[in-house]
């Protein structure tokens, strides 16, 4: 029977926890197998928190702590926005805001052969997928999805890229759509690519739209849903006034 995870009246799920908090009392759940995710550690009977963040639970048995920071820790399977730094014989060196530069093999494109290697100059913005991310090694990227199709990966042309925290990126990617994107999308038409490494790319036909969208998103991280919509309203009004 799926009761509230911790079973005790003061469940910490979806609450903000600090390092040292005891998230769960494991003695009450001795017959379950649970999976521990980020920033959780088992100390005998007690599950303690290592990093400040929101304590999350997902059925059937996964617990983790979600925190937001400006640095990105590469993780296999993430879709990120990278900036090409250099191109070598075998791969491109790409900066994905992690502790080390990542390698993007030259052939990791749909239909990629030695003959049609794309030319990415330094400073090109690309949407890539992290294939391997082991600690101590440079992460490996790919511009195709798991089955080999292009699936929107590749170079992003035009538009404007800005940096944010990882928490904001996760909020933008959450479903249902987060309020700020919802409110902006109702009135403006734009294209957006969100990388889990804290980079967001926006493109629209007119620069003013891009600026409004970018500023709206940047300011929405710590606002509640209602506040976000209110802020978007104000921005849109200013935009209409100036056009």
Partner 1 sequence: METRLANIWRLTVNEKKFIETALQSDLRIDGRRPFDFRNISIKFSREEGSAEVQLGQTHVMAFVTAQLTQPYKDRPNEGTLSMFTEFSPMADPSFEPGRPSEAAVELGRVIDRGLRESRAVDTESLCVLSGKSVWAVRVDLHILDNGGNLVDAANIAALAALLTFRRPECSLGGEDGQQVIVHPPEVREPLPLIIHHLPIAVTFAFFSNESTVVVDPTHYEEAVMGGRMTATLNANNDICAIQKAGGEGVLQSVIMQCLRIAGQKAYDISTKIKNAVESYNTERALRKIKRHPSSVALDISGAGVNIGKNQNKPVPQKGDSERSNLTSEKSVADQSMDIEGEAKSSEQQQTNKIDGDAKNFVGGPSSWDPYSAGVNSDFLKASLASRGTTMPSRKEQDSRGENMSGEAKPVEPPEDINVSSSNIEASETVLRTNGEKTLKDAVKPKNKRKMKSSSTSER
Number of residues that bind partner 1 (CB under 8 A): 26
The distance of closest approach from Cβ of residue 78 to partner 1 in the complex, given in angstroms and rounded to an integer, is 16
Report DSSP letters for 26-64, one per residue: GGGGTT---EE-TTEEEETTEEEE-S-EEEEEETTTEEE
Return the half-sphere exposure (C-beta side, CA atoms, 13 A cut-off) of residue 98: 29
Determine, following the binding rule CB under 8 A, whether residue 188 of this chain makes contact with partner 1: no
First to last CA, the chain: 58
Q: Which of residues 217-236 bind partner 1 (CB under 8 A)?
A: none
Residue from the set 13, 50, 156, 173 that interacts with partner 1 by CB under 8 A: 156
The distance of closest approach from Cβ of residue 159 to partner 1 in the complex, given in angstroms and rounded to an integer, is 6
Report DSSP letters for 103-141, one per residue: EEETT-STT--SS------TT-EEEEEEEE--TTS--EE
Given the rule CB under 8 A, which of 2-10, 16-24, 50-58, 120-128 is the region that contacts partner 1? 120-128
Closest by CA position to 172, among listed 127, 212, 221: 221
The distance of closest approach from Cβ of residue 226 to partner 1 in the complex, given in angstroms and rounded to an integer, is 23
**By C-beta, is 117 or 239 nearer to partner 1?**
239
Determine, following the binding rule CB under 8 A, whether residue 201 of this chain makes contact with partner 1: yes
Distance separating alpha carbons of residues 80 and 89, to the nearest angstrom = 23
Determine, following the binding rule CB under 8 A, whether residue 121 of this chain makes contact with partner 1: yes
Residue from the set 159, 170, 173, 221 that interacts with partner 1 by CB under 8 A: 159
C-alpha dihedral over 182, 185, 187, 189, to 10 degrees? 180
Determine, following the binding rule CB under 8 A, whether residue 100 of this chain makes contact with partner 1: yes
Determine, following the binding rule CB under 8 A, whether residue 2 of this chain makes contact with partner 1: no
Determine, following the binding rule CB under 8 A, whether residue 192 of this chain makes contact with partner 1: no
Distance separating alpha carbons of residues 160 and 206, to the nearest angstrom = 12
Determine, following the binding rule CB under 8 A, whether residue 95 of this chain makes contact with partner 1: yes
Residue from the set 46, 160, 165, 185 that interacts with partner 1 by CB under 8 A: 160
Answer yes or no: are the C-beta atoms of 112 and 149 closer than 8 Å: no
Binding residues for partner 1, rule: CB under 8 A, are 83, 85, 95, 98-101, 121, 123-125, 138, 156-161, 201, 206-208, 210-211, 214-215
């Amino acid at each position: 029977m799926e009761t509230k995870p911790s079973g005790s009246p003061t469940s910490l799920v979806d609450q903000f926890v600090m390092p040292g908090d005891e998230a769960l009392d494991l003695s009450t759940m001795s017959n379950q197998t649970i999976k521990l995710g980020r920033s959780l550690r088992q100390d005998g009977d007690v599950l303690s928190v290592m990093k400040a963040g929101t304590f999350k639970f997902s059925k059937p048995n996964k617990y983790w702590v979600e925190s937001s920071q400006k640095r990105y820790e590469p993780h296999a399977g993430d879709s990120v926005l990278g900036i090409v730094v250099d191109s070598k014989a075998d791969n491109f060196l790409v900066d994905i805001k992690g502790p080390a530069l990542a390698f993007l093999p030259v052939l990791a494109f749909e239909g990629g052969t030695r003959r049609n290697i794309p030319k990415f100059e330094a400073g090109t913005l690309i949407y890539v997928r992290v294939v391997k991310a082991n600690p101590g090694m440079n992460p490996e990227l790919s511009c195709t999805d798991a089955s080999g199709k292009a699936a929107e990966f590749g170079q992003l042309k035009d538009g404007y890229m800005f940096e944010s925290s990882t928490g904001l990126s996760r909020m933008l990617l959450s479903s249902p759509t987060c309020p700020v994107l919802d409110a902006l999308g109702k009135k403006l038409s734009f294209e957006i690519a969100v990388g889990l490494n804290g980079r967001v790319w926006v493109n629209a036909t007119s620069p003013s739209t891009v600026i409004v969208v970018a500023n709206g998103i940047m300011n929405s991280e710590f606002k509640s849903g209602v506040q976000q919509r209110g802020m978007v309203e104000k921005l849109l009004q200013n935009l209409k006034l100036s056009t």
